[in-house]
Amino acid sequence: MWQSFCNWLLYKRMGWTADITEEHPDKYIICLAPHTSNWDFLIGQLYIGAQGMKSNFLMKKEWFFWPLGPIFRKMGGIPVWRSKKTSMTDNLAATARQERTFHLCITPEGTRSLNPEWKKGFYYIAQKAELPILLYGVDYEKRHIQCTKTIIPNGDIDSQMREIKLYFKGFKGKHPENFTIGEI
C-alpha cells in the first residue's frame, strides 16, 4: 500500500520520471546530487518508497530533536556531528562489511548551500568496504531522477571525484544557484 501511494504521488501526481539503468546489489553507496533544498529529502523518500527500497541516510544531528529524531531514525537516518572529528567513515565501512545488506545515501556537498568542495566520505566508505557507488541525480527542472552510472572506487580519488562531479554537471537542483561541481 505504501509503495502504491508513493508511486502515485511521485510519478502520477507530482509528474516525476526516473531512468535507472544501474544494478543495485546487496551493498552499495548512493551518491545523490544536487542537494539544494529540504525537498530533496521528501523526493528521495517518495522515490525509495515507490521502488520498495530501503536506504539509510546521513543527516546533520540538529534534525534529530524530539519528535523528529525517533522518526528519522526509524526511516534510516544516521545523525552526523559535523563539528566533531569522529571515525564515522571507518565505522560505516566496518558496518557495511559485517552486514548482509547495506544501502547508504549520501549527498557529497554536505549542505544545501553552495559548496564547491564536496565531501569525500562517501568515497572512503565505499573504498574501505569495497562497495560500488551508484550516482543518483535529481533534476527539478525536468522532474527527473537518474542513475545511469556506477563508480567502483580504485583509489585514484582525484580522477574519480572529477568523473563523479562531471556526471552531475547538467542536473538542476530545486535552487540551482546553490549547486556547483566546483573547479575540476
pTM for this entry: 0.90
Res 75: pLDDT: 65
For residue 176, pLDDT beyond 80 = yes
Minimal CA–CA distance to 150: which of 31, 7, 40? 31
Q: Where are the domains of the chain?
A: 2-178
Rounded Cα gap, residues 9 and 20, in angstroms: 19
Res 67: pLDDT: 84
Per residue in 47-57, pLDDT (tens digit) is 999 999 999 87
Res 39: pLDDT: 95
Res 84: pLDDT: 60
Res 82: pLDDT: 63
Res 64: pLDDT: 64
Q: How confident is the model at residue 122 (pLDDT cuts 50, 70, 90)?
A: very high
pLDDT, the chain, mean: 90
Determine the number of helices (DSSP H) and then strands (DSSP E) in the chain: 6, 7
Rounded Cα gap, residues 168 and 178, in angstroms: 14
| Amino acid (1-letter code) at residue 164 | I
Per residue in 15-66, pLDDT (tens digit) is 999 999 999 999 999 999 999 998 999 999 999 999 999 998 776 677 667 8
Give the mean pLDDT of 153-180.
Answer: 96
Q: How confident is the model at residue 183 (pLDDT cuts 50, 70, 90)?
A: confident
Per residue in 65-118, pLDDT (tens digit) is 788 777 777 766 666 666 666 688 888 898 899 999 999 999 999 888 898 899
Rounded Cα gap, residues 113 and 12, in angstroms: 30
